[in-house]
Amino acid sequence: MTNKPIIVIGAGMCGVSTAIWLQRSGFKVILMDKGAPGMGASYGNSGLLAQWAVDPVTSPNLWWDAPKHVFNRNAPLFIKWPYLPKMLPWLYSFMSHASDAGTHRIVRNLIPILSDAVEQHKSLVSGTPLEKWVLDSKLSFVYTSEAAFKKDAYSWKMKALAGLKPTIITGCAVQEEEPILNPEMKCLAVLEGQGHIANPGQYIAELTKYFVGNGGQFIQAEVQEFHKCGNRISYIDTDQGAFECSHVVITAGIWSKDLMKKLELKVPLEAERGYHVIFENPTEMPRNPMLMIEGKFGVNPMDMGLRCAGTVELGDHHAGPSEAPIKLLKRHTKEVFPNLKYSNTKEWMGFRPSTPDSTPLIGELEKSGIFVGFGHQHVGLTAGPVTGRLIAQLINGHVPNIDMTPYKPDRYTV
C-alpha cells in the first residue's frame, strides 16, 4: 500500500462516507472541500432516507405532465428561462428515458443502491456516538383522495418492483394517523420500515469530526488542476498548495461537472435546483415524515423546526435563488397544515446533480486512479453510504456484490 494519501474531493454525504470506508480499509485519506463539510446539497435536503425513490421523474406520464407544470403557478416545476438553451441537449436526453422501458431500466439501476439505505447508514455509524442521527420512521405519501392515489398507480407499480407495498388509510382515519393534516387530505399510503435524519448538515459535520478523530484529514481548499504521471493521477493543485496522492475520488455533487472539465471531460450533469423552508418553533409537528404528492415536497420534523423541502427548478448551478419556489412551498404548507403557527422561517436553495438517465456515476475513469461518485439527483443523502462503500471496494480491488455496469462513468465521459 502506497504512503501517498487518497484525496476525496467533496465533503457531502457521498464524500464523507467514501472517506470513512477508505479509512476503515487502512488507507490514508484526505477529505477536501472548498466549503465546510455538509454545506452543499447534503445540507438542505428533506432528510428522508428515500429507499422508496426508485421510480424516476422520467415516467411515461412526463410527456403529458411536464408542459402542464411549466405554465401552472401551483406546480412544483420552474425554469430559469435564460439558461434553457444551454440545457436543451440534456433535456432531450433526459426525456428520451421517459418511456416504460426506460423507467423499468432506471428502477433496476436504483434498487441496488437505495433499497437498504437505512441499514447502510446504520452500518456507517454502528458502534459510534453517531448512531443517534439515523432514526427509524414510517413515511406517509399524502393524497387528496383515494382516487388521486389510484391515479398514481404507475409509480406504485414501480415501487412494487423493490418490494414496497403501502398500507392505505382513508377518510377520517387520515387525521387520526396525522392530526396535523388538513381534513381535506383524504388518503395516506404508508410505508413501514423507513428512516430519516433529523439534521443532515450536523450529521455530516459530525461524521467529518469522527473521520478526523480517527486519523483522517480535512482540508478546506478549492481544486485548481489535476496532474498525471503517464495516465495515472499524481498530484493536484489547489488554492492551498499542491497535494500528492495515489488516487482521487470526485464526490462534489453538481460541482463535479466543473472538476471534470479540468480533466477535459464533458459530463451531461445539470442542476435540479431544490428549495426548503424551515418553520421554526412550530406549534405542531407530524408524527412521522411525509411526502406531499400534490406539491411534490417532503415534510420532516427536525431539530431546528419543521422542514418542508422540494420543488424542481431547472437552471444554472452558478445562479442565485428564485422567489417563486419558496412562495410555492410556503403556500402549499399553509394549505396542508392550516393550523400551523411558527416564530420564523428560514429558506435555502441547493443543487441536485442530475444525469439524463437518473443514475449516478460510480467508478474509475479508465485506469487513471481517478474515481467518481456523483450524479445522484434527489438521493445523494440516501445513497451516500453505499456509494462510499462501493468506491472503497473498487479501490481495494474487491468485486462489489452488485453489477456496477449501470453506474460506469465512461457511459458519459466522452
pLDDT tens, position by position, 297-350: 999 999 899 999 999 999 999 899 999 999 999 999 999 999 999 999 999 999
* Chosen domain end from 354, 379, 396: 354
Does residue 339 sit within a domain? yes
Residues 215 and 191 in one domain: no
C-alpha to C-alpha distance for 88 and 48, rounded to whole angstroms: 30
Residues 91 and 122 in one domain: yes
- DSSP, collapsed to helix, strand or coil, labels residue 289 as coil
Shared domain for 148 and 136, answered yes or no, is yes
Match 480499509 to its residue by C-alpha cell: 25
For residues 244 and 366, state if they share a domain.
Answer: yes
Q: Which residues form the domain of 378?
A: 6-42+202-265+357-411
Helix (H, G, I), strand (E, B) or coil at 344: strand
* Residue indicated by cell numbers 465521459: 413
188: which strand partners?
142, 169
Q: Which residue has the higher pLDDT, 301 or 2?
A: 301
Which pLDDT value is given to residue 262?
94
3-state secondary structure 258-288: HHHHHCCCCCCCEEEEEEEEEEECCCCCCCC
Same domain, 142 and 279: yes
Q: Where would I find the beta strands (DSSP E) of 107-176? A: 134-143, 167-170
| Type of residue numbered 93 | S
316/384 same-domain check = no
Per residue in 123-173, pLDDT tens? 999 999 999 999 999 999 999 999 999 999 999 999 999 999 999 999 999
User: Taking 80 as the threshold, does the pLDDT of residue 257 lie above it?
Assistant: yes
Q: Which three cell numbers stand for residue 291?
A: 411526502
Position 193 in a domain? yes
CATH code for the domain in which residue 343 is found: 3.30.9.10
Number of domains in the chain: 2
Q: Which three cell numbers stand for residue 159?
A: 415501487
Contact 353, 253 (CB under 8 A): yes
Q: Which pLDDT belongs to residue 94?
A: 94
Same-domain status, 180 and 82: yes
Average pLDDT over residues 48-75: 83
Mean pLDDT of the region 88-98: 94
Q: What is the pLDDT, as a whole number, of residue 40? A: 79
Cell 442542476 belongs to which residue?
271
> In this structure, are 193 and 94 located in the same domain?
yes
Nearest-Å Rg of the Cα atoms of the chain is 21
Q: Which residues pair with 8 in a beta bridge?
A: 31, 249
Can you say whether the dihedral through the CA atoms of 3, 7, 13, 14 is positive or negative? negative
User: In which region does residue 377 sit, left (phi positive, over 0), alpha (psi from -120 to 50) or beta (all else)?
Assistant: left
* Secondary structure of residue 318 in the 3-state scheme: coil
Has residue 393 got a pLDDT over 90? Answer: yes
Q: Which residues pair with 278 in a beta bridge?
A: 307, 346
* 230 found inside a domain: yes
Residue 28 sits in a domain whose CATH number is 3.50.50.60
Sign of the dihedral defined by the CA atoms of residues 169, 175, 179, 181, in that order:
positive
CB distance 242 to 235 below 8 Å: yes
66, pLDDT greater than 80: no
C-alpha cell of residue 307: 422542514
Is residue 401 a part of any domain in this protein?
yes
Q: Are residues 17 and 151 in the same domain?
A: no
Q: Are 48 and 117 in contact (CB under 8 A)?
A: no
CA distance 291 to 162: 18
State phi, psi for 50 to the nearest 5 degrees. Answer: -85, 65
Q: Helix (H, G, I), strand (E, B), or coil: what is residue 84? A: helix
Residue 118's H or E segment, with its range, is helix 117-125
Q: Which of 354, 379, 399 is the last residue of a domain?
A: 354
Residues 78 and 171 occupy one common structural domain: yes
The answer to whether residues 31 and 216 touch, using CB atoms and an 8 Å cutoff, is yes
Rounded Cα gap, residues 141 and 191, in angstroms: 8
Backbone angles phi, psi at 27, to 5 degrees: -85, 150
> With 60 as the cut, is the pLDDT of residue 414 above it?
no
